[in-house]
Amino acid sequence: MDWVKIGSALFLLAMIIFLFPRMKQAIKHSPKGTMKDWMGFIIPIAGVFLFVVLLIAAVR
Amino acid sequence: MYNNQTIQRTQESVLATNKVLRNTYTLLSMTLVFSAIMAYIGVATGASHGGALVANIAAIGLLWFVLPRTANSGAGIGVVFAFTGLLGYGLGPILSYYLAVNPSIVTTALGGTGVIFLGLSGYALTTRKDFSFMGAFLMVGLLVILGAALLNIFMGIPALSLAISAGIMIIMSGLILYQTSSIIHGGETNYIMATASLFLSLLNMFTALLHILGAFSGDD
């Protein structure tokens, strides 16, 4: 295993350690979304998904 | 009297929000141009994977430890340019690879990222929905992706790599909605921090899209 892989792994591990307390804080303090709120997120994500499928078809 | 004060305060708030939005998009477009120049330098000089890793570590170091202390001063603009420049240079090896095998993938991923960003920003700006409820979901998703990416460094499973890229696309799309909504609703009032977060989402989305398009075109 070369040093770039080890360095990348350590870098990702450092990011996980750094972000973990923020995740706990976000879970504790984030407001809960209603079904309507989540639909407002799902619709644009579905649009992104369809657009990516279109891009895949374009490069194939 | 009360109504006049309320209207005045609302107008001030709208003006402040518009100012943050305008400054964010201006700085974001400038940093994107600078980052593209640095990416070109990375490609032209044949930046190695080791060099790219060092540039990425330095950029994240700036984001975590320097930017929060300088974001309220003029120095923050210099830091955000250094941050985006380092990340742009870090794109050198991956861009060199895809430019060598199929240059159209790079232009498609670039254009695709631009369209998705404009679409998501336009959606958040026009609907004015509050996406603050997504904070926990995005943070958990981000950590799951980082964990999976860490595992895949040692396992090297192509399908997992593709799933990670798809996950990054979803999380970065969510982050663009979340960050834009945060600016609109006054949660983010610092345009330098907003620019850094949006830039990071855009860059991650671009590399993930590059990987997905590369995999499905048979060039990855």
DSSP symbols for A7-55? HHHHHHHHHHHHHHHHHHHHHHHSPPP-HHHHHHHHHHHHHHHHHHHHH
Q: Is the pTM of this model over 0.90?
A: yes
Distance separating alpha carbons of residues B215 and B179, to the nearest angstrom? 29
How far apart, in Å, are the Cα atoms of A52 and each of B25, B170, B210? 24, 11, 11
Residue pair B186/B128 in contact by the 8 Å Cβ criterion: no
Residue B12's pLDDT is what?
A: 73
Which 120-179 residues of chain B touch chain A by CB within 8 A?
120, 123, 127, 129-140, 142-143, 146-147, 149-150, 153-154, 169-170, 173-174, 177
Closest chain B residue by Cα to residue A60:
B217
Report pLDDT digits (tens) over B118-156.
999 999 999 999 999 999 999 999 999 999 999 999 999
Report pLDDT digits (tens) over B96-117.
999 999 999 999 999 999 999 9
Helix residue spans in B45-62 (DSSP H): 49-61
Residue pair B131/B190 in contact by the 8 Å Cβ criterion: no
